[in-house]
Amino acid sequence: MKSHFPLPLTLFLIVVIGCGKAEQERREAAKKNLEEIGKALEQHSAKEREATVSLAIFEKRILPIFQSAKPSSCSECHLSGVDLKEYIRPTQQQTFVSLVGAGMIDTENPDESKILRFISRSPDKPNLVTDKVRKEEYDAFQAWIRAAVADPKLLASKSEAAPIGPQIPDEVIRHARRDRVLASFIDNIWTEVGRCAACHSPDRNQKQVKEHGKQVSWISLNDPRATLSYMVENDLIDANKPAESLLLMKPTLQVEHEGGQKMVVGDRTYKQFRRFIDDYAGIVQGKYKQANQLPSQSGEVSVVTEIWFKIEGVPAKYDKMLLQADLYRQTDSGWSEFRVASSDRLVFGPKNLWQHSLSLTAPRGSKWAKEIESKRLPPGRYLVKLYIDQVGKLQKDYATKLGDDDFVGQVEFESRWPAGYGRMTVVKFPE
Ligand code: HEC
Ligand code: HEC
């Protein structure tokens, strides 16, 4: 039978079909090969890319945090001692190796890295400005850490891990936390500003504001945090020269004060103000490097009251000297072991007079410390011990305490301790 196709065409078809199979295999092999080469190539360039990506992120987003003059978001809670800058070194490699060494980067789960947890800590009351800074810092570190852990060169880096992060003990970091600083402010200053409220609290000083201007309202009503911020921002507290803070200079008449003398250098209120202001300055200046440099807390707490106490017949020779009156309460087992109230002020010689409002005092943490918050003194029998600074030793060293050398006498008496200037408890100066 004759072929339907002419011979040359048949031959051609045989060749094509036969070769077609081989060619297809070849092509497939080649394609596979190409794919593999491609994949390898792709992986290679991915690594290259990651490497450049992590470096680019480091240079564009991490280094600027390091170089910035502005404090990081950490400062919202840490007054000093801690800053994000301390977790950055000048090069990507040093930074990475040191952060890994310090356990701050988790190379397996980059998003779980401790440094990210530090950055994400935010206060209960959000602040739009710091929230924005915090988000930028977080995004930058997250992007960089993700890229960095994907970079085998960085992972394999043999450079030495250097210490990174704050190099001060946790006690010092704790002491410099803003919540601790505020607690100390409340303890030492806020509890005393009742003395200044008549002229400096916005609910009571319309007349002073009219005469002297808005700056007399330095108390923020019921808001110690805002009051502290105001004092710092308006230089009432001077962190560079703490002893020269207006808050100390004005009421002690070291500079002119329209309100007159409200404190004496070395009296209890002054000591408390200094305790806070000196410590605040120390924290801001980064003075504390070791736990044993931290100031100890006062062993006594106090509240200002409206209870007035007056001593008559004070010898005129004591004029303008600081008289300190410590009160002890009669208990079943004798006089109380600690003073339950105290007050100190200058003697007014011409009228043989000393008078002042009482502060209730108690050992910190004692049962009595809770009770004084009522600002009341139980009626009953009391002993007052009187001390007078006759040699001006407090002027020389404000931290000195009046003691046995300064003791001038004591009186026993009864009182119901009514509050108010018009209802003073009065005793006679001992003969
Ligand atoms: C919202 C407040 C807040 C912010 C913001 C904040 N911290 Fe803290 N930080 C704390 C508190 C509270 C502690 C006490 C730790 C505890 O008791 O859990 C602390 C403790 C620390 C400690 C002591 C050691 C430790 O492991 O507890 C370091 C270090 C620290 N923070 C670093 C930072 C860094 C770095 C930043 C900024 C990136 C920062 N913090 C931001 C509140 C904050
Ligand atoms: C009887 C009213 C009165 C009392 C009480 C009083 N002050 Fe003043 N104080 C004034 C007046 C008025 C001014 C504004 C004029 C001036 O600077 O002397 C002032 C100013 C000040 C200033 C300067 C504020 C500023 O920004 O310029 C400080 C600080 C200050 N007083 C501290 C105190 C302290 C601390 C107490 C309490 C221990 C106190 N004052 C009690 C009346 C008073």
Q: Which ligand is nearest to the CA of 131?
A: 1
Average pLDDT of 141-147? 97
pLDDT digits (tens, 9 = 90+) for 217-263: 999 999 999 999 999 999 999 999 999 999 999 999 999 999 999 99
Query: Residue 166: CB within 6 Å of ligand 1?
Result: yes
**What is the whole-number distance in angstroms between the Cα of residue 198 and the centre of ligand 2?**
10
What's the pLDDT score for residue 431?
84
Proportion of the chain above pLDDT 70, given as a percent: 88
Name the closest-CA residue to atom 12, ligand 2.
258
Higher pLDDT: 338 or 32? It is 338
Q: How far is the CA of 251 from the centre of ligand 2 (A)?
A: 7
Give percent of the chain above pLDDT 90.
Answer: 84
Those residues with Cβ within 8 angstroms of residue 252's Cβ, 6 or more apart along the chain or in another chain: 261, 262, 263, 264, 265, 270
User: Which of 1-15, 139-153, 380-394 is least confident?
Assistant: 1-15
Give the mutation target among 79, 173, 179, 181 for probing the ligand 1 site: most ligand atoms within 8 A of CB. Answer: 173
Give the angle 206-210-212 at the CA atoms, nearest 5°. 110
Express each pLDDT in 70-123 by its tens digit.
999 999 999 999 999 999 999 999 999 999 999 999 999 999 999 999 999 999
pLDDT in tens, 27-58: 676 566 656 655 655 665 665 665 579 999 99
- Provide the 8-state DSSP code for 292: G
- 373 within ligand 1 shell (Cβ under 6 A): no
* 261 CA to centre of ligand 2 in angstroms: 10
Atom number in ligand 2 closest to CA 245: 29
Q: How confident is the model at residue 135 (pLDDT cuts 50, 70, 90)?
A: very high
Q: Where are the domains of the chain?
A: 64-162, 168-298, 300-431
**75, burial (CB in 10 Å: exposed 0-12, middle 13-18, buried 19+):** middle
Q: Give distance in angstroms: CA of 255 to centre of ligand 2.
A: 11
Atom of ligand 2 nearest to the CA of 235: 26
What is d(CA 418, CA 248) in angstroms, rounded to the nearest whole number?
Answer: 31
**Average pLDDT of span 349-366:** 97
Give yes or no for residue 215 CB within 6 A of ligand 2: yes
Q: Can you give the pLDDT at residue 21?
A: 64
Give the residue, by CA position, lying nearest to ligand 1 atom 24: 170
- 258 touches ligand 2 (CB under 6 Å): yes
Taking the CA of residue 87 as reference, the ligand 1 atom at the shortest distance is: 35
**Looking at residue 20, what is its pLDDT?**
57
DSSP 177-227: BHHHHHHHHHHHTGGGGGGTHHHHSTTT-HHHHHHH-GGG--PPTT-HHHH
Assess whether pLDDT exceeds 90 at residue 406. yes
Q: Residue 45 contacts by C-beta under 8 Å, 6 or more apart in sequence?
A: none
pLDDT at 178: 96
* Residue 5 confidence (pLDDT) above 60: no
Measured CA to CA, the distance from residue 271 to residue 368 in angstroms comes to 22
Give the whole-angstrom CA distance, residue 117 versus residue 103. Answer: 12
Instruction: Tell me how far the alpha carbon of residue 118 lies from the centroid of ligand 1, in angstroms.
Output: 6
- For ligand 2, the distance from its centroid to the CA atom of residue 207, given in whole angstroms, is 13
Contacts of 99 (CB under 8 A, 6+ apart): 87, 105, 113, 115, 164
- Is the predicted pLDDT of residue 171 greater than 50, yes or no? yes
Distance 78 CA to ligand 1 centre (A): 7
pLDDT at residue 288 tops 70:
yes
Cβ(352)–Cβ(312) below 8 Å: yes
* Sequence-separated (6 or more) residues with CB below 8 Å from residue 61: 139, 140, 143, 144
Residue of the CA atom closest to atom 41 of ligand 1:
74
- Per-residue pLDDT tens digits for 381-405: 999 999 999 999 999 999 999 999 9
Q: What is the pLDDT of residue 49?
A: 61
How high is the mean pLDDT of the chain? 91
CA of 248 to the centre of ligand 2 (A): 10
State whether the beta carbon of 102 lies less than 6 angstroms from ligand 1.
Answer: no
Span of 154-163, 170-179, 264-273, 343-352 with lowest mean pLDDT: 154-163
What is the DSSP pairing of strand 322-331 with strand 341-346?
Answer: antiparallel
Give, rounded to a whole angstrom, the gap between the first and last alpha carbons of the chain. 156
Domain 300-431 grouped into CATH 2.60.40:
yes
Residue 117 Cβ contacting ligand 1 at under 6 Å:
no
pLDDT attached to residue 259: 95
pLDDT band at 11 (very low <50, low <70, confident <90, very high): very low
